[in-house]
Amino acid sequence: MLKEAEIRTFIDGATNYFEISAQQSATVGSPYLVTDGNPGAYEYTGVIGISGARKGIVYFTAPRGMLTVLLMRMQETDTSDENIKDLVGEVANTISGNARRDFGKNFVISVPVVIAHQVDKVTAPHSRSYVIPINWRTHSAKLVVCLE
Amino acid sequence: MNAELKPSLKLMIVDDSNIIRRRIERSQQIDRLEVVGAASNGREAVELFRRTQPDVVTMDLTMPEMDGVECVQQLVAMNSKVLILVVSALADKATAVDAIEKGANGFLCKPFTDRQLNDALEELLSEA
């Protein structure tokens, strides 16, 4: 179960990422709770395993269009599938790592695991997940937080 | 000493993300830094360090094979004068303090702007 302040930590992490990396603000929709164990995914997903004081996963999932434009905003000209996968993992890693500012060093994060082109392979370890919708330019993405 | 007369310094970039490695290489605007190589984990970094003997290293922390903190310790054991800037998403104070205690010289939190990167490198080099 996440407290409101803990959800705020992830919202701030997501908006900060776009503000700094893309130099362009993203807007965040109202977070909502999914209780069927299926928070959903887009074409590319970067999954971070969480261990230590909290257990579960955090994932960032986005369509190729958003990730391609984000790469270009970062002055990256190589928009190959490899770099798109690299980026989605890096976004998930950065938002999760930044959360340690509030959660502390015992919020232990794994290296990213990237799932591409296999939306049905993206699953949550528990039935309850919080979904934070992210809108940037014309694109939509999600940050999913599933912690015990 | 005039900056133009200062000898160039070798820079090694360590990060498991290819786009971050390329970003650091592209964004760093410090004339006297010459990129001599990039590694995607701590183990690769130790090997590359032996071969290229860099003066300055940017170091990610969360990496496969060997993490950044262990890598910092190994690099400092090989050359205590190496300047290491940790570039990591791990934003808690304890992690930064731990990295500094293990031998790093500075800490830059991801995500970062080009300006923040260059300011951090300038500050690091002022120690040289």
Question: A5-39: per-residue pLDDT in tens?
Answer: 999 999 999 999 999 999 999 999 999 999 999 99
Contact residues for A23 (Cβ-Cβ < 8 A; gap 6+): A73, B113
CA neighbours closer than 13 Å in the CB half-sphere of residue B76: 17
Cut 0.90: pTM above it: yes
Q: What are A44-101's pLDDT values in tens digits?
A: 999 999 999 999 999 999 999 999 999 999 999 999 999 999 999 999 999 999 999 9
* Residue A74 at interface with chain B, using a CB cutoff of 8 Å: yes
Please state the φ and ψ torsions of residue A42, each to the nearest 5 degrees: -100, -165
CB spacing of A98 vs B91 below 8 angstroms: yes
Q: What is the ipTM for the molecules in this complex?
A: 0.92
* Residue A81 at interface with chain B, using a CB cutoff of 8 Å: no
Length of chain B: 128
Q: Which amino acid is at B13?
A: I
